[in-house]
Amino acid sequence: MLQKSGLDTKQTEEQEFTAEELASVDAIIEHYKNKPGSLIPVLEEIQEAIGYLPKSVQRRVALGLSIPFSEVYGVVTFYSFFTMTPKGKHTIRCCLGTACYVRGGKRILEKLTQTLKVAPGETTSDRRFSLETVRCLGACGLAPVVMVDENTYRQMKPSKVSEILEAYE
């Protein structure tokens, strides 16, 4: 079974990533190789290094850690932090936790989807922005909250959306 998917004629990792990037992937796998239960930290660090986790990379991880590809795939698709498609240059996280929702988070999200013309979970066609919704960034005192990359914007209003997005190239 594994062999069949291994022979998929999808893009191989050699075509997608640079030699450097692949080297960093292998280094991460090597570091955690003998530690049981380290799949999640491995995937986290690889995603931090190369941006996303396509099937090709997942297969590499499976081979390197000696676990079935299906298990790797299962973990990648279970946890919301992992993505199999590249993200935009900037990640917008619109909080829809209870406090933000109660203070109008839904309308902020509507304005964002309207302005960017993508739905949550998608990336704009020019790869500038990825839009995500998060459940609670834990800044409920400043609701409604939107994060763009590491910057947190507090007490958001739909009218402020365009202004904030313009600051990001």
- Considering the complex, what minimum distance in angstroms separates the CB of residue 83 from other proteins? 10
Shortest CB 27 distance to other proteins, Å: 19
Alpha carbon separation from 99 to 93, 109, 120 (Å, rounded): 15, 14, 19
Q: How far is the CB of 155 from other proteins (least distance, A)?
A: 8
Q: Is residue 109 within 8 Å of 120, Cβ to Cβ?
A: yes
Calpha distance 17→12 (Å, rounded): 9
Write each residue from 96 to 135 as x if it is in contact with other proteins (CB under 8 A), else as -, in one continuous string: xxxxxxxxx-----x---x-------------------xx
Q: How far is the CB of 22 from other proteins (least distance, A)?
A: 22
Tallying the residues shown for the chain, one arrives at 169
CA distances from 20 to 23, 25, 41 (A): 5, 9, 20
Contact pattern for other proteins over residues 41 through 80, marking x by CB under 8 A? x-xx--------------------------x--xx--xxx
User: Which residue in the set 29, 62, 131, 143 belongs to the binding site for other proteins (CB under 8 A)?
Assistant: 143
Q: Which helix (H) or strand (E) holds 106?
A: helix 105-116
